[in-house]
Amino acid sequence: MNPYPALVATVARHRGVLACLVVMEDDGIVVEAAAQIGVETAAFAALTASLYRKSARAAAAAGFGGVSFCELEAERGRVLAAGRNGLVMVAVAEPKVNLGLLRLELLRAAAGL
């Protein structure tokens, strides 16, 4: 049974979350997604997977070990990503989202990847 729709749904149901995706880390291709209308999931997937990969390389180069979570804060929103087993779970959220709760939920969901 495909576990990803349930994992995505647990994150996507939170208030302020615009999209939640499971993305292949190396390819940036969407595996599973739930998004509000207007969110370009393919672009988000490709660019966030790239960001996550490069964050991991930066952390490795600095001798910090592997990356398990990264967050991008922008003027009108936030992108959070947590990865495991070659997959990255990405949440796209409004600035007013409950960040602590979302982060917790994303890490919990990513543990199921």
Partner 1 sequence: MIRHTLTVGWADAPLKHFVDDARLQVAILMHTSGQVLAQVGFQRSLDVQTACALSAAINASAEHLGTMVDGTPFRGLHYAGMERQIYLGQVPSPDALLLVLAVFDSESSLGIVQLYVKELQANIAAAVPSSTDHEPALAENFETDLNRNLAQLFGRG
By beta-carbon proximity to partner 1, the closer residue of 24 and 99 is: 24
Asked if residue 43 binds partner 1 (CB under 8 A), the reply is yes
Asked if residue 60 binds partner 1 (CB under 8 A), the reply is no
Sign for the CA dihedral angle at 47, 52, 56, 62 comes to: positive
By beta-carbon proximity to partner 1, the closer residue of 92 and 97 is: 92
| Chain Cα centroid distance, residue 48 | 7
Out of 35, 45, 67, 82, point to the residue binding partner 1 (CB under 8 A).
45
Dmax of the chain from CA atoms? Answer: 40
Residue matched to tokens 């999209």: 19
By beta-carbon proximity to partner 1, the closer residue of 51 and 107 is: 51
Asked if residue 46 binds partner 1 (CB under 8 A), the reply is yes
Short-list 103, 107, 113, CA closest to 14:
103
> Taking the complex as a whole, how short is the minimal distance between the CB of residue 51 and partner 1, in angstroms?
11
DSSP string, 94-111: -TTS-HHHHHHHHHHHHT
Residues of this chain that bind partner 1 (CB under 8 A): 23-24, 26-30, 42-43, 45-47, 49-50, 53
